[in-house]
């Protein structure tokens, strides 16, 4: 039994669906040895993947960035995700996809002529509860000490893992990270600032992961007439925010109501959050 996983669900590994307990990879897999791989997390609502095309486009960009040939076409990835979803009864799921460079004798340089390892699994998705959406979450600030290729959705996540634990150790849900005094992102989410009715977010560059919800919030802001400024956001601006939010596949959009123990704005979810949340729920209902 694996902690946190019930039963023995089917997973996908290199062309086959097998029970999780039977799915094995070589200890020489470069994902294991070097963290040499990339991944995606696709939320599924009412058994339908949300923003699949955007997730597959990001998967392709991540593979391209680390020079692993994409092992599947978009149609093949879609079929794989559809089959994974069929393996569970749950209406809402999140599908995890991972591609590593493959198995070879340990050597940092890329081996020639190896095939990537392709892994996929799905889990029931407990969406953020009504209580959580209403109470909001706590966050703490910290310096962003990760590498300079954060736009790649890499499985090398040690910096993110340590950042998330920094939050947990301080009884917070997420960190808000700063590089050279400017906002980057959370350990596993994008961060949004609201000031005087305007939405502020760091630009999409190599210092943050371009979340699929980042793109969706950008679209919603434009559709709802919420002014959005994508530019460097200073720590002082974050600390003086009227509202703060985080967004990710598994957290959707959540209000951050306390930062380093201080209330954010009025200390409760604000009006811009409410509008974006409504838009998110409507998009899911329309799937």
Of the listed pieces 68-76, 83-91, 108-116, 188-196, which binds ligand PDD according to CB under 6 A?
Answer: 188-196
Token pair, residue 260, equals 């380093």
Interface mask toward ligand PDD for 136-175; x: CB under 6 A: ------------------------x---------------
Q: Quick one: which of 42, 137, 151, 47 has its CA closest to 91?
A: 47
C-alpha distances (whole Å) from 244 to each of 192, 211, 240, 269, 270 are 6, 16, 10, 9, 9
DSSP assignment of 142-154 equals EE--S-S-TTS-B
Taking the least distance from each CB to ligand PDD, the nearer of 250 and 258 is 250
Token pair, residue 55, equals 């997730």
Taking the least distance from each CB to ligand PDD, the nearer of 117 and 190 is 190
Of the listed pieces 63-71, 136-144, 247-255, 272-280, which binds ligand PDD according to CB under 6 A?
Answer: 247-255
Backbone angles phi, psi at 236, to 5 degrees: -60, -40
Q: Helix 52-65 to helix 74-86 angle, to the nearest 10 degrees?
A: 120
Catalytic residue check, 153: yes
Q: Name the active-site residue from 48, 153, 195, 224.
A: 153
Q: How many residues bind ligand PDD (CB under 6 A)?
A: 14
CA angle 271, 277, 279 (to 5 degrees): 110
Stretch (H or E) spanning 198: strand 198-201
Report, in Å, the least distance between residue 40 CB and ligand PDD.
8
In the list 10, 118, 152, 212, the residue contacting ligand PDD (rule: CB under 6 A) is: 212
In the list 97, 249, 254, 256, the residue contacting ligand PDD (rule: CB under 6 A) is: 249
Catalytic residues: 153
Please report, as ranges, the residues that interact with ligand PDD according to CB under 6 A: 41, 160, 185, 188-190, 209, 211-213, 247-250
């Amino acid at each position: 039994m694996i902690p946190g996983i019930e039963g023995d669900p089917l997973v996908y590994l290199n062309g086959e669906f097998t029970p999780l307990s039977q799915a094995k990879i070589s200890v020489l897999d470069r994902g294991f040895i070097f963290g040499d791989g990339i991944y995606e997390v696709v939320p599924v609502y009412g058994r339908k993947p949300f923003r699949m095309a955007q997730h597959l486009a990001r998967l392709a960009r991540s593979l391209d960035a680390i020079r692993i040939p994409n092992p599947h076409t978009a149609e093949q990835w879609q079929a794989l995700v559809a089959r994974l979803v069929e393996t569970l009864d749950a209406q809402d799921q999140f599908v995890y996809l991972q591609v590593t460079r493959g198995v070879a004798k340990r050597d940092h340089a890329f081996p020639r002529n190896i095939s990537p390892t392709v892994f996929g699994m799905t889990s029931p998705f407990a969406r953020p509860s009504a209580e959580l959406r209403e109470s909001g979450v706590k966050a703490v600030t910290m310096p962003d000490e990760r590498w300079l290729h954060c736009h790649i959705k890499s499985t090398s996540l040690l910096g993110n893992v340590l950042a998330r634990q920094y939050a947990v150790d301080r009884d917070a849900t997420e960190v808000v990270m700063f590089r050279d005094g400017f906002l980057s992102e959370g350990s596993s989410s994008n961060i949004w600032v609201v000031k005087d009715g305007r939405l502020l977010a760091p630009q999409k560059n190599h210092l943050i992961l371009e979340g699929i919800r980042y793109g969706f919030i950008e679209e919603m802001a434009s559709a709802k007439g919420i002014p959005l400024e994508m530019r460097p956001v200073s720590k002082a601006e974050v600390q003086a925010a009227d509202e703060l939010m985080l967004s990710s596949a598994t957290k959707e959009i959540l209000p951050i109501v306390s930062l380093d123990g201080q209330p954010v704005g009025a200390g409760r979810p604000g009006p811009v959050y409410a509008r974006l949340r409504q838009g998110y729920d409507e998009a899911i209902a329309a799937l």
